[in-house]
Structure 1
Amino acid sequence: MKAALVYKAGGPDVFVIEDRPIPKLKTGWSVIKVLGFGINHSEIFTRQGLSPSVTFPRILGIECVGEVVETQAPHLKPGQRIISIMGEMGRAFDGSYAEYTLLPDEQIYPVKTELPLEKLVALPETYYTAYGAFKNLQIKAGDTTLIRGAASGVGLAMLDLIKAQFPQNEVFGSSRHLEKRKTLQKCGYDGIILDKDNVLQTDLTFDKILELVGPSSIKDSFNHIKEKGVICSNGQLGGRWFLEDFDPIMDLKNNSYLTSFYSGNVSLKKLQEMLDYVAAFQVPVHVEKIFKLDEITEAHAYIESKESFGKIIVLT
């Protein structure tokens, strides 16, 4: 099989495309043919050597859509279409940046869907994360929402999820690059706000805020939340992992609420619920760019560039 390996931390050019043996079946694990996967910012952090538990060489990739090839698991059978995400995939053991992968049975989820492959591949990590945040934010009709990190894959997924069920709800986005404003508004945003040095250049306030920039900007987000509003922090696009110098009494302003969602909180029931929501409300699943496995360097370079926009997938 073909696989993309990282032997040492570095930039997008550290990937090495190799021919390797297809993994062999072992007890408690199944062999999966990878049909495609999305590229995620956490994989960029790992490639850069910023995931302390990861050792190289490693095949990255924390998600995939695939088919069961070999298995001993009673809930699986060869030929089934499956989704797998998280569970130390691509970190403690080799992940999805390959034509085949060996995965623990407990994190292989056989799903029922009629979505075309490229749309299904765009869903697992990105739309699942957005859907979890959508539920924790308790989005309802009439809410005004800010998506902080508007051009990111999760940000655009959240926009799609909200507008599909609540087309009259106003959804604003923030961006560090206002040259993306027209493109973002074409995607459905009602307005784009400049995020300058992690400070929103507006006096607007919102019922709900999806905080994807993370610890580097979350305190400023509380300056823009309405009474009884909710902020969901589930991204770290700002490059900071932890929130320091945070006083809950003073910083949780306007009797507001702080929640989060972690895509590692996954089950077949929750994944299928997300897929059913996409089908029921005819959510438009946007795929910005599609790469091949041997173009993984170009894919990583793109997602790190100023031109990066939306969900990037690889079809094997």
Structure 2
Amino acid sequence: MNHAIRVHEYGGPEALVWEDVPLPAPRPGEALVRHHAIGLNYIDVYFRTGLYKAPSLPATIGMEAAGVVEAVGEGVTEVAPGDRVAYATAPIGAYAEARSIKADRLVKLPDAIAFEQAAAMMLQGMTAGFLLNRTYKVQAGQTILVHAAAGGVGLIMVQWAKHLGATVIGSVGTEAKAEIARAHGADHVVIGTESLPERVKEITGGAMLPVVFDSVGRDTFLTSLDCLAPFGMMVSYGNASGPVSIPDIGVLAAKGSLYLTRPTLATYTARREDLEGSAKALFEVVAKGAVKINVNQRFALKDAAEAHRALEARRTTGSTVLTP
């Protein structure tokens, strides 16, 4: 028996349907993974609503999970039955009790990493890692801005950036979330964004910032640009408030010859060696205790709709997992 959450038509959380699905035998190059925990991420909302299109409908959504390999297809060398593994890459399909996936997209879990911890950190943690170490290589002594600093990626970024020696300004929506960001190392926390450029100017003595990491999207994009120093980089990596639209690329010139990038984990882990390197870097900072992974919410996989409602209402902090 195998169950999955599937979307038959794009829509709200009610579009998530719990139903029986066949147990997929692994094809050549694939491994069958029995999930022990599944990560909840905002990209799942995008696939549910149709902002990001599934290859076809009905579709099983979800990008991230951890579990045990039950079988492998012909030619698989990366993993073997019995291996503890995790993944956080396309194609979608993680909202299931078991699935087959390309074996070269799996990474083996160190013994010290529990299934829930792995499912809670692979997508968010590797995202934080490539943003801070590759998209913009944060240096000790720099001051940076992290939006949604009490969210899943945000909390990891705050801790990891502090480990790198940066001063971190966190932007959050409520005082409760401000306390969470401070508790995880944020040096300065700003509630709301109306006064954000003024606060950044005050904190930096007028120098402004070399980089802003923004997962919120439409509501914070222009404000984020106003926080950057000349030649600063705007890293827009999410659309929690809606997709970003730039009416005139000249705004980047007017605000100081700024750089803009829209990176994705899929691109940064497309090569096997990059995937393994990203996972290794994440496992190392977690093993050192420099980054602590907080599983603050748990839902049964069959209750994924309720999990989506909590996520979209911004009632979640840290990471959330679904359990089959």
TM-score tier by shorter-chain length is 0.7 to 0.9
Q: Which moved more, 1:36-45 or 1:271-280?
A: 271-280
Instruction: Give the match's secondary structure for 2:36.
Output: strand
Displacement of 1:294 in angstroms is 1.9
CA–CA separation in structure 2 for the residues paired with 1:134 and 1:113: 26
Kept after mapping to 1: 8 A contact 2:219/2:242: yes
Among residues 267, 274, 277, which one is paired with 1:269 in the alignment?
277
Aligned residue in 1 for 2:6: 5
Deviations 1:187-241 (A, max 9, x none): 3322222444797563522343212223553333232123554432222223115
* 2-structure distance, mates of 1:258, 1:6: 33
**Residue 299, structure 1, aligned to residue 302, structure 2:** no
Alignment of 1:239 onto 2:242: yes
- The answer to whether structure 1 residue 174 and structure 2 residue 171 are counterparts is yes
- 1:194–1:201 contact (8 Å) kept in structure 2: no
- Alpha carbons 2:293, 2:319 under 8 Å: kept: no
- Say whether the 8 Å CA contact 1:215–1:243 is kept in structure 2: no
Q: Which moved more, 1:296-305 or 1:187-196?
A: 187-196
Question: Partner of 1:313 in structure 2?
Answer: 321
| 2:114 aligned residue | 116
Partner residue in 1 for 2:214 = 211
Given that residues 160 and 285 in structure 1 are in contact (C-alpha distance below 8 angstroms), is that contact kept between their aligned partners in structure 2?
no
- Write the letter of the residue equivalent to 1:106: D
- Is the 8 Å Cα contact of residues 151 and 318 (structure 2) preserved in structure 1? yes
Q: Deviations over 1:174-197 (max 9, x none)?
A: 134455333432333222224447
Name the SS for the 1:226 alignment partner.
strand
Question: CA offsets, 1:90-142, max 9 Å, x none?
Answer: 2xxxx111110011233223343522222222111101101110113222221
CA offset digits 1:60-103 (Å, max 9, x no partner):
1112112211103122210112222223x22xxxx111110011
Tell me the amino acid that sits aligned with residue 147 of structure 2.
Answer: R
Q: CA RMSD in A?
A: 2.5
Q: SS at 2:9's partner residue?
A: coil
Q: How does 1:137-286 map to 2 (within 5 A)?
A: 137-166=136-165, 169-178=166-175, 180-196=177-193, 200=197, 202-204=199-201, 205-214=208-217, 217-227=220-230, 229-247=232-250, 250-251=253-254, 253=256, 256-264=258-266, 265-266=268-269, 267-286=275-294
CA distance in 2, matches of 1:177, 1:201: 19
Sequence identity, in percent?
23
- Greater Cα shift, 53-62 or 257-266: 257-266
Query: Structure 1 residues 305, 202: closer, same or farther in 2, change over 3 A?
Result: same
* Partner amino acid, structure 1, of 2:300: K
- Mapped to 1, the partners of 2:142 and 2:21 lie a distance apart of 51
5+ residue gaps in structure 1?
A: none
* 2:46 corresponds to: 45
C-alpha contact (below 8 Å) 1:195/1:201 kept by paired residues: no
1:291 Cα deviation (Å)? 1.6
Distance 1:149 1:41, change over 3 A: same
- Whether the 8 Å CA contact 2:44–2:62 is kept in 1: the answer is yes
Q: How many residue pairs end up in the alignment?
A: 308
Measured in 2, the distance between the counterparts of 1:129 and 1:216 equals 21
**Secondary structure of 1:21's match?**
coil
What is the CA deviation profile of residues 272-316 of structure 1, one whole-angstrom value per residue up to 9, with x for unaligned ones?
232223323532112221222122121111101142322211133
Where do 1:16-35 residues align within 5 Å?
16-35=17-36
CA offset at residue 53 of structure 1? 4.5
Q: What is the TM-score of this pair, normalised by structure 1?
A: 0.87
Q: 1:183 & 1:226 partners in 2: Cα distance?
A: 28
Change (3 A) 1:23 1:197: farther
